[in-house]
């Protein structure tokens, strides 16, 4: 029997979904069943050879399925087979480079799955938080009633302006002159009253006034009137 065309899961008697522990237990059981030393001494050499081949096949199946990397490579290979038993179905142990690529691919797929699970978990938490938040009803204050302003009453005020009679220019000038004379007389009287009060309060000022008047009178007497030329 060509071991490259054998289904290793059938050799160990387990399914493709079997765990590593299930494969290990099945291997131990198959070793006990197929070990050549359990054959009776009188068996033929041909039967002994078949037992050795079967035992070797069990051991090879465990080497492939007992290691996670080689089992993954074996699963990928057997799932992509076009037809069972064809030349493409022959299984060969993957090289170190192939196993490294398989491990990197598995790590990438695992991280992608973790990121997807994290996004799903975050979305569920957000949805749960939104459900837990109760909507708050905000009561807006009512707007105060608008009282219309009273329209201003249109009151027409008529002002009676008495006509001012136009006075002649000469009369206006005379009135101005009289006003100025009255103001000058009032100012002179006020100054004279102030001087009289000052003289009364200070005799010295009275003496000064008398001397000033005498000096003025003397100066008037000494002034000679010029005689006209003959």
pLDDT digits 0-9 by tens, 141-167: 666 666 666 665 554 545 555 555 555
Q: Each residue of 89-145: pLDDT tens digit?
A: 555 666 677 667 767 777 777 788 888 888 888 888 888 887 877 666 666 666 666
Give pLDDT, residue 174.
Answer: 74
Report field, pTM of the whole predicted structure over 0.75: no
Q: Which range has the worst mean pLDDT, 19-33, 55-69, 72-86, 118-132?
A: 72-86
Higher pLDDT, 155 or 72: 72
- Report pLDDT for 170: 64
- CATH fold group of domain 3-93: Helix Hairpins (1.10.287)
CB 94 within 8 A of CB 70: yes
Q: How far apart are CA 169 and CA 177, in angstroms?
A: 13
Residue-range domain boundaries for the chain: 3-93, 95-131, 171-221
End-to-end CA distance of the chain: 188
Per-residue pLDDT tens for 172-219?
Answer: 667 677 888 888 888 888 888 887 777 677 777 778 878 888 888 888
Rounded Cα gap, residues 100 and 1, in angstroms = 31
What pLDDT, on a 0 to 100 scale, did the predictor assign at position 91?
A: 54
158: DSSP letter: -
Place of tokens 């000679």: 224
pLDDT score at 225: 55
């Amino acid at each position: 029997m060509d071991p490259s065309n054998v289904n290793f899961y059938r050799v160990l008697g387990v399914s493709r979904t079997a765990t590593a522990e299930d494969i290990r237990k099945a291997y131990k059981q198959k070793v006990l069943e197929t070990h050549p030393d359990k054959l009776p001494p009188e068996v033929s050499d041909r039967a002994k050879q078949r037992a050795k081949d079967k035992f070797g096949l069990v051991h090879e199946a465990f080497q492939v399925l007992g290691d996670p990397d080689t089992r993954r490579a074996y699963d990928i290979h057997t799932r992509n087979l076009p037809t069972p038993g064809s030349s493409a179905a022959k299984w060969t142990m993957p090289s170190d480079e192939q196993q490294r690529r398989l491990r990197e691919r598995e790590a990438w797929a695992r991280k992608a799955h973790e990121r997807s699970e994290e996004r799903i978990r975050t979305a569920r938490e957000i949805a749960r938080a939104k459900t837990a938040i109760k909507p708050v009803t905000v009561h807006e204050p009512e707007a105060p009633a608008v009282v219309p302003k009273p329209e201003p009453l249109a009151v027409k005020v008529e002002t009676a302006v008495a006509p001012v009679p136009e006075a002649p220019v000469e009369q206006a000038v005379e009135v101005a002159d009289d006003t100025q004379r009255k103001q000058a007389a009032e100012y002179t009287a006020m100054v004279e009253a102030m001087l009289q009060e000052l003289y009364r309060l200070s005799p010295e000022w009275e003496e000064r006034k008398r001397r000033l008047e005498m000096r003025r009178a003397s100066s008037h007497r000494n002034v000679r009137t010029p005689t006209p030329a003959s």
